[in-house]
Amino acid sequence: MGRVGVLLLNLGGPEKLEDVRPFLFNLFSDPEIIRLPVTWLQKPLAWLISSSRYKKSQENYKQIGGGSPLRRITEEQAQALEASLAEKGQEAKIYVGMRYWHPFTEDAIAEIKKDKIDHLVILPLYPQFSISTSGSSFRVLEKLWEKDRVLGNNVKYSLISSWYDRPGYLQAMADLIAQQLDQFEHRDRVHLFFSAHGVPVSYVEEAGDPYQREIEACTALIMKTLNRPNPHTLAYQSRVGPVEWLQPYTEDALQELGEKQVKDVLVIPISFVSEHIETLQEIDIEYREVAEEAGISNFRRVPALDTHARFIDDLADLVIDSLNSPSQKFSDVVRPSEELKMYPQERWEMGMTTSAEVWNGRLAMLGFIALLVELFSGKGILHAIGIL
Ligand SMILES: C=CC1=C(C)c2cc3[nH]c(cc4nc(cc5[nH]c(cc1n2)c(C)c5CCC(=O)O)C(CCC(=O)O)=C4C)c(C)c3C=C
Ligand SMILES: [Fe+2]
Ligand SMILES: [Fe+2]
């Protein structure tokens, strides 16, 4: 088999407050996150949205100590995985490749080439597949493999697209939930509140993103593994931008529970395996406030898996299994739907072209950008770029 490497894919997060703006620029430059009518507009729009949004985003990062813990935790996971693989007799070097911040996926690939890795296991740290997360990283890799002959000829890869149904992962989640449940005074009446990161509805309904289906299946499997009588809800958090996202939204679902006189709620973040801004700030600070105002007096959260031993052990087994099974190609995974239809932004393009014929094309485009900036940042465009 030769030299084995494992590439852990993750989103990345700003480590310092100064990183927030360029991090957001990278994120909004990704056509998998926001897709525009014409490619030359992508970077200017990313610049506008990141310029208008970064101050608000920095305030959130300030509340969690001035930066994202994602790099530190992902590197700890990498070390733990390397040790677990070694214990199982599988020598492997682990690399971390982030999509929007350091260490970037491209840098990890440069290391992988330098180390002359023969077989690479590509493992996203997202349990469920989404076009916007694992899919976006796969596209970056697909391009690198296409244009780089050394990679194409010398590095065989095994692609893992999602792994939310792994028994060890499910057991680790159930253990963490049970530990928190047992700290409530009336543990059987606690409402289990699964909160997944949202995506726009069009990703699922038009582009064929399997994300929602995998999130629902994952929730059901965790409930089954947990095997407790508690009621549960699944909702979606962290909506941004102008389009409709998967529902119910976390804040609405919490309010509804409050109206039903539910007092004990345990939140379970399920679309991400590390602590990050959406757990530490959004759930622990913002949603806690929403819950308390709605009369939910005991609001707790299950910690993220991070380097949970059972979880890491299962990831090691997953890596070993995938080394021994036939591999999918990027193209099998990146386009989950045969008849990939249009993203919402592409549909706007159609609308745009018609209106551009009626109006002056360029003016309409400017108006369209101003609208997008306003919807993503909550501010008018002149405010956004600091003119007002
Ligand atoms: C499974 C997890 C995630 C999905 C799905 C996802 C989709 C998605 N996200 C945005 C916009 C933003 N995401 C941001 C940060 C961020 N998102 C995830 C995870 C998922 N995103 C993580 C782990 C992080 C980083 C956290 C950290 O600790 O730094 C941000 C920036 C933060 C902010 O300003 O609120 C934005 C913006 C979209 C548009 C999208 C689907 C299309
Ligand atoms: Fe996100
Ligand atoms: Fe958020």
* 207: pLDDT strictly greater than 80: yes
Distance 278 CA to ligand 3 centre (A): 5
Which atom of ligand 1 approaches the CA of 70 most closely?
Answer: 28
Task: Find the mean pLDDT for residues 222-246.
Answer: 95
Among all bound ligands, the one having the nearest atom to the CA of 30 is 1
State how far the Cα of 125 lies from the Cα of 77, in Å rounded to an integer: 10
> Closest residue (by CA) to atom 39 of ligand 1?
33
Annotated binding site for Fe(2+): 197, 278
Q: What is the dihedral of CA 353, 359, 364, 365, to 10 degrees?
A: 50
Q: What is residue 383's predicted lDDT score, i.e. its pLDDT?
A: 56
374 or 116, higher pLDDT: 116
Judge contact between 71 and 102, C-beta under 8 A. yes
Query: pLDDT tens digit string along 187-201?
Result: 999 999 999 999 999
pTM (2 decimals)? 0.90
- The sign one gets for the Cα dihedral 19, 196, 162, 32 is negative
Among all bound ligands, the one having the nearest atom to the CA of 199 is 1
Among all bound ligands, the one having the nearest atom to the CA of 61 is 1
Q: What is residue 381's predicted lDDT score, i.e. its pLDDT?
A: 59
Q: How confident is the model at residue 355 (pLDDT cuts 50, 70, 90)?
A: very low
Q: What is residue 367's predicted lDDT score, i.e. its pLDDT?
A: 64
* 177: pLDDT strictly greater than 90: yes
Distance 256 CA to ligand 3 centre (A): 21
Query: pLDDT tens digit string along 10-67?
Result: 999 999 999 999 999 999 999 999 877 788 899 999 999 999 999 999 999 999 999 9
Q: What is residue 346's predicted lDDT score, i.e. its pLDDT?
A: 42
* 342: pLDDT strictly greater than 90: no
Q: How confident is the model at residue 376 (pLDDT cuts 50, 70, 90)?
A: confident
- Mark the residues whose beta carbon lies below 5 A from ion ligand 3: 238, 282
Distance 362 CA to ligand 2 centre (A): 31
Distance 223 CA to ligand 2 centre (A): 25
Mean pLDDT value across the chain = 90
> Closest residue (by CA) to atom 18 of ligand 1?
11
How many other CB atoms are found less than 10 A from the CB of residue 230?
A: 17
Q: Which residues line ligand 1 (CB under 6 A)?
A: 11, 13, 27, 33, 57, 68, 70, 126, 130, 132-133, 197, 199-200, 240-241, 271-272, 276-277
Q: How confident is the model at residue 349 (pLDDT cuts 50, 70, 90)?
A: very low
Judge contact between 133 and 11, C-beta under 8 A. yes
Q: How confident is the model at residue 331 (pLDDT cuts 50, 70, 90)?
A: confident
- DSSP bridge pairs for 300: 266
Which atom of ligand 1 approaches the CA of 57 most closely?
Answer: 34
Which atom of ligand 1 approaches the CA of 280 most closely?
Answer: 28
State how far the Cα of 207 lies from the Cα of 123, in Å rounded to an integer: 23
* 338: pLDDT strictly greater than 90: no
**ipTM, 2 dp:** 0.94
